[in-house]
Amino acid sequence: MNYKKVFQSEQLRMRLLGLTEFIPDKTMIYLQYWIKTGRKLNLSNPKRFNEKIQWYKLYYRDPLMAQCADKYEVREYVTSKNLEEILIPLYGVYDDANDIDFNKLPSKFILKTNNGSHTNIICEDKSTLNIENTRKVLNTWLTKRTAKAGREWAYYNINPKIICEKLLDKDKNNDLIDYKFYCFNGKCSYIKVATNTSSGNPENGIFNMEFEQLPYCRSEVVKITDKIEKPKNYKNMCKIAEALSSDFPHVRVDLYNINGKIYFGELTFYDTSGYQIFEPDEFDYILGNLFSINKIVQ
């Protein structure tokens, strides 16, 4: 079922999800998995990566995950790994958009919530920014997001805040490539590379640890066709990803690299909430084989 065609408004989808919060997590996860993938979820003996993500939501409850899911509090975790040099400079953190003094901000920056996905406002020229509308949008994100949208436990108790950070420079191709390291028990296994991230037509590809593109892709986006050069300081990126993932059975570590300068993006425990479709389908099983849940105590 293509639910996005049935309910085209994201605001409507979030409102409907908010009305279903009374439904137990396990029941809702079974239902959402079927709606979004067209498959019956196997929780008793999960094999697919996406199935194990659903298992992870329900049964793995390490409090450290909640800290690291918070895009503000995770900065403390990164610092605890002696990696504060990769943190994007922070201009401010706010409980209410009305507390933001735009006069004190530089000419360009990014505003985002600490608990959301796709809740970013990119400002490349403050003089053209509609400040009143920006405040309204940010406060709407703070108050109307349902924490249980994907039944992702780590986000349930995050105190919503607004973060203002430095806007990273784009590369020579006017792009900011996102390197998403799939890590299992502190070891990097694959990288999902996302390009054209600020356009309406993002592209992605799956790479091995030798940074060779593989014949796999997320079905909902365009596959990368141009050659992507291995980033400078690539080995250091791998070391950083492994250091940041060492405390978890699985986490996706997102990094940026601008001419060899590495920046931290985020830690993601529930990649695409465990509902993405891979092409070919076998990659779902390849990642699933790496995600060992047998030793996790429920």
More confident residue, 98 or 200: 98
Write out the residue limits of the CATH 3.30.470 domain(s) in the chain.
Answer: 42-86+170-290
Report pTM.
Answer: 0.92
Percent of the chain with pLDDT over 70: 91
> Distances in Å between the alpha carbon of 106 and those of 111, 124, 286?
12, 10, 45
* pLDDT in the model for residue 6: 44
How sure is the predictor about 145, in pLDDT bands with cuts at 50, 70 and 90? Answer: low
**Is the model's pLDDT at 8 over the cut of 60?**
no
Q: Is 255 helix (H, G, I), strand (E, B) or coil?
A: strand
- DSSP β-bridge partners for residue 164: 92, 111
Confidence band for 147, pLDDT divided at 50, 70 and 90: low
For the four alpha carbons of 279, 282, 284 and 286, in that order, the dihedral sign comes to negative
Q: Indicate if the pLDDT at residue 18 is higher than 70.
A: no
Confidence (pLDDT) at 118? 82
* Burial category of 134 from C-beta neighbours within 10 Å (exposed 0-12, middle 13-18, buried 19 and up): middle
Give the mean model confidence (pLDDT) for residues 38-48: 96
Tens of pLDDT, residues 58-117:
999 999 999 999 999 999 999 999 999 999 999 999 999 999 999 999 999 999 999 988
Condensed to tens digits (0 to 9), the pLDDT of residues 100-129 reads 999 999 999 999 999 988 899 999 999 999
| pLDDT surpassing 60 at residue 12 | no
pLDDT score for 13: 55
Whether the pLDDT of residue 3 is over 60: the answer is no
- The secondary element (H helix, E strand) that includes residue 123 is strand 120-123
If you average pLDDT over each of 126-140, 170-184, 213-227, which comes out highest? 126-140
Domain 42-86+170-290 falls under CATH 3.30.470? yes
